[in-house]
A and B are shown apart, each in its own frame.
Chain A
């Protein structure tokens, strides 16, 4: 049985790394007695993965875990059982069953929406104009660090939307396996442009996938976003 679940990562837990969240879920799934399938081989491990890694320091309302179960269970049980054992700060918001052959969320994740908040945004009267002029650039090249050394990358094509609303900046950025613009990398670029030095509160509020030319949220929450 193939299941995906959407969960939050709170402010308090935003410094827990991607790998540590994986370890947490391994233990939580065992505690919740959810029959996750194990890989074969010499060193079996749980058949789970996440849609898109979240940088350390970013909270989220749209994390996704993708898992294969050994036995079928009622999908309603997933949030109920996991929320009973997960720490405060990680909450399963919903879970759905997918067909067996459906591509992994990791492979089809395409967009991520983030909010950025700083108290000083409210005082910056020209913020909206500045964001517009930022978006007016055709080329925003940055020095991107990677395992194989630094690389010059134009990130402008990966910024799809940038808006200001109620003192909060919202940005829609490319996400996924092939191309990915990390929220912290984006913010470092934007804040240099805006001439501020503080670390904003960043939250991922939605994640989108693209499959068969359709762009969609894997699990839509009722009543918000």
Chain B
């Protein structure tokens, strides 16, 4: 394929040419796998899960895993103009020639990109229209746990940790490949793998009013529910050290070390907190070994200690000391994302990190609301932490809050402003009253109720109310010099909420929105909201009916087929506690009975 005439005309052509350090090339593999993150190269190449899958599959002798990311709008235009099919970075192979094509679902607003990529590859968009000539289309990642809105497009979803199930899936594929059996036969075989959900084997039945009435599997051999896969031996789970080093700068252009998986906090709004349970830590020795090997094979000078809440790693100071002992000064810098206010390590901040800005997420403005969402931090925690940061020489902090949380009132918004005022005072106290260099950035995101959380039944706040509260907070914060306030567009959040809790009927909406030109919806400059409105209306539906309506607590949920191990009874109990503004302990301080112990068949911590 001669791509010169195309590549010279697009922005950042290196997004499409591969050839990076540590890229894998292979000949005559039995299974040709293509992995996609349905967004740009820069975002896709920053995703840790994709790196694990890429190198793990390429370590198999029988499998060649290649990559393709979503072409940016300019590239899509050129590809369509010149009839160039979607191709892989490794060998420029048309993706239609793959055996299996896997997508990671990190974000609902990437779904139109999946449809677009299938189309650019010349593969039928609907699963039912595919033949033995087409690749098997699979998807995993967090959104695969509530996949009904894209169920008609995907042949099989792999639920939970990918390390084991993906290998089992490829083993099964490899056996089937030479069996001469049909595609349908393979999908039946795949449905027998624990954690593999084949949506075409389930029928969704709706009542006259459009509500989901029941879900039936098409025959008795198909499991009633699909259990999330959990890697138990996380210490020894596959972890790549020969990472691809991109040429162009990506979002996270550094070594990402996964220090633990899961989170024990139980914040009620956070899907990841439930979806990745239980907490599984890696040992310091293992992490040092991985860092040394990765630094050697990549030349990176920065390592990020990554997890859902890195300050909670039980051996954090041991790990920092060990890293400092293993590397000479200036050889490796350490960054610690996802800092919690109450596990913040002022000592670490003052000695290790660059003097940029620090980000904290109190999430809500009053203790009442923080109790409701089970964000177990207090105002004292925040003020102690920001004071420590200011004392350590930081002049800039960022504070993240959510807006439109369940049971939120105007008082909670005023609470945000009060909290900010106290941070300003803390700065004054540490700088003799001089706030000339102080920068406090406050930002609010609109709360999106997500499946598999205690708030899965809650309505998203009405757009009008959100707008009023944004204006209110803006005017309350206006009086402070050095404080700026930014808010996220609530159109994006409305669409995200509608798709996140949507049912199979939304597949037609997504298809129609894509046909009308919806692409890269997660990019605010690309989101065409009117197209989506139209696409919903065409099906007699609306975003608000999915996003802004309270779901009855006993309703059949479109994601009921998936069993993540945390019971619905637990979510109901947690929801009741939220109503009473009661908190729940961190799992590490004692089990609160979420159901995972039974699911794992024993202790989960």
| Residues of chain A at the chain B interface (Cβ within 8 Å) | 12-13, 15-17, 20-21, 23-24, 26-31, 44, 56-57, 85-89, 198-199, 201
Q: B236-252: which residues lie under 8 A (CB-CB) from chain A? A: 245, 247-249
Cβ-defined partner of A12 (8 Å) among B19, B245, B300, B330: B19
Q: Which of A15, A17, A27, A56 contacts B298 (CB 8 A)?
A: A27
Are the C-beta atoms of B247 and A27 separated by less than 8 Å? Answer: no
**Cα A86 to Cα B14 with chains together (Å):** 17
B483 on interface, CB distance cutoff 8 Å = no
Q: Considering the chains assembled together, what is the distance between the CA atoms of A24 and B330 in angstroms?
A: 19
Judging by beta carbons under 8 Å apart, are A26 and B299 in contact?
yes
For this complex, 21 residue pairs linking A to B, each with C-beta atoms less than 8 Å apart, are A15-B7, A15-B16, A16-B17, A16-B247, A16-B248, A17-B247, A20-B248, A24-B245, A27-B21, A27-B245, A28-B299, A31-B296, A31-B298, A31-B299, A44-B330, A86-B21, A87-B19, A87-B21, A87-B22, A199-B5, A199-B8
Q: Are A30 and B7 in contact (CB under 8 A)?
A: no
- CB of A17 within 8 A of CB of B19, answer no
Besides A26-B299, A27-B21, 19 other CB < 8 A contacts? A12-B19, A13-B247, A15-B7, A15-B16, A16-B19, A16-B247, A20-B14, A28-B21, A30-B299, A30-B301, A31-B297, A31-B298, A57-B13, A85-B299, A86-B21, A87-B21, A88-B19, A198-B5, A199-B4
Chain B residues near A12 (CB-CB < 8 A): 17-19
**Quick check: is B23 within 8 A (CB to CB) of the other chain?**
yes
Q: Does B20 contact A (CB under 8 A)?
A: yes
Cα(A17)–Cα(B21), bound, Å: 15
CB pair A57–B245 under 8 Å, yes or no, is no
Please, how many angstroms separate the alpha-carbon atoms of A220 and B193 in the complex? 61
Cα–Cα, bound, A166→B297 (Å): 43
Residues of B within 8 Å of A88, CB to CB, are 19
User: Which residues of A lie under 8 Å from residue B19 when comparing CB positions?
Assistant: 12-13, 16, 87-89
Main SS class of interface, B: loop
Q: Please pick, from A44, A57, A87, the residue contacting B7 in the complex, using a CB distance under 8 A.
A: A57
Query: Which residues does chain B contribute within 8 Å of A21, judged by CB atoms?
Result: 247
A150 CA / B300 CA spacing, docked (Å): 39
Set B7, B18, B247, B296: member contacting A23, Cβ < 8 A: B247
The 6 A-B pairs of least Cβ separation, nearest first, read A27-B299, A15-B13, A31-B299, A20-B247, A30-B299, A87-B21
Contacts of B299 in A (CB 8 A): 26-31, 85
List residues of chain A with CB within 8 A of the CB of B300: 27
Contacts of A16 in B (CB 8 A): 14, 17, 19, 247-248
Chain B residues with CB under 8 Å of A201's CB are 4
Q: Is the CB of B247 within 8 A of A56?
A: no
Question: Which residues of A lie under 8 Å from residue B301 when comparing CB positions?
Answer: 30
Closest Cβ of chain B: how far from A10's Cβ, in Å? 8
Report how far A89 CA is from B25 CA in the complex, Å.
Answer: 13
Q: Which residues of chain A have C-beta atoms less than 8 A from B14's C-beta?
A: 15-17, 20
- Shortest B230–chain A CB gap in Å is 35
Q: Please give the distance in Å from B40's CB to the nearest CB on chain A.
A: 15
B5/A24 in contact, CB under 8 A:
no
The complex places the Cα of A199 from the Cα of B3 at a distance, in Å, of 10
Tell me the nearest residue of chain B to A25, going by C-beta: B299
Q: Which residue of A lies closest to B296 (CB)?
A: A31
Bound: A17/B7 CA distance, A: 13
Residue of B17, B296, B298 with most partner-chain A CB within 10 A: B17
Report chain B residues within 8 Å CB of A198.
5
Which residues of chain B (320-349) have a CB below 8 Å from chain A?
Answer: 330
In angstroms, Cα B299 to Cα A24, docked, is 9
Q: How long is the Cα–Cα vector from A198 to B14 in the complex, in angstroms?
A: 20
| Contact B8–A57 (Cβ < 8 Å) | yes
Q: Which of A15, A24, A44 contacts B17 (CB 8 A)?
A: A15
In the bound complex, what is the Cα–Cα distance between A57 and B4 (angstroms)? 8
Beta-carbon contact of A87 and B5 below 8 Å: no
Residues from chain B with Cβ under 8 Å of A199 in the complex: 4-5, 8
Nearest B-chain residue to A27, judged by Cβ = B299
What is the CA–CA distance of A27 and B21 in the complex, to the nearest angstrom? 10
Q: Which of B23, B249, B296 contacts A87 (CB 8 A)?
A: B23
- By a CB distance below 8 angstroms, the chain A residues around B330 are 44
Q: Are A24's CB and B247's CB within 8 A?
A: yes
Give the Cβ gap from A58 to chain B, nearest Cβ, in Å. 10
Q: Quick check: B8 and A85 within 8 Å, CB to CB?
A: no
Q: How far is the CA of A24 from the CA of B300 in the complex (A)?
A: 10
Contacts of B17 in A (CB 8 A): 12-13, 15-16
- The CA of A28 and the CA of B297, in the complex, are separated in Å by 9
A24 to B298, CA, bound (A): 10
Q: Name A200's closest neighbour in chain B (CB-CB).
A: B4
Give A23 to B300 CA distance when docked, in angstroms: 10
Determine how close the nearest CB of chain A comes to the CB of B541; give it in whole angstroms.
43
State the CA gap A24–B249 with chains docked (Å): 11
Q: How far is the CA of A201 from the CA of B7 in the complex (A)?
A: 12
Whether A87 lies near B13 (C-beta < 8 A) is no
Partner of A85, one of B7, B16, B21, B249: B21
Question: Which of chain B's residues have a CB closer than 8 A to the CB of A87?
Answer: 19-23
| Other-chain residue from B7, B21, B23 in contact with A24 (beta carbon distance below 8 A) | B21
- Nearest chain A CB to B300 CB, angstrom units: 7
Give the residue name and chain of the A residue nearest to B21 (CB): A87
Cα distance, A12 to B245, chains bound together (Å): 16
Report chain B residues within 8 Å CB of A27.
21, 245, 298-300
Bound complex: CA A27 to CA B247 (Å): 10
- What's the nearest-Cβ distance from chain A to residue B331, in Å? 9
Cβ contacts under 8 Å, B249 to chain A: 20, 23
